[in-house]
Amino acid sequence: MQLPGRQEIMEKPPLDRVQELVQAAITGLVPAVRPPYFLFGHSLGALICYELIHALQQQRYPMPEHLFVSGKLAPHISRTAMRVH
């Protein structure tokens, strides 16, 4: 998924709320994806995927088989927690 305001769609204004990104993802993905499917998100994409799964669940869409994330702390871990490198 490419976000508006980046890469090939640089001319489109960027979305500035996670919920807008999630809804755009649902609009683009739901018609095209058939189970089983998997999601991967890196950095901001990890946050978007996490929120996307919650929205899919609330709207009763088929859930992904697995979520893979990288480059982002888990939501329950404080930013001030000691990081391991």
CA separation for the pair 18, 5 (Å, rounded): 14
Catalytic one among 2, 19, 43, 70? 43
Q: Looking at the DSSP assignment, which residues form a beta bridge with residue 68?
A: 40
Q: Give catalytic status of residue 78 as yes or no.
A: no
Q: What residues act catalytically?
A: 43
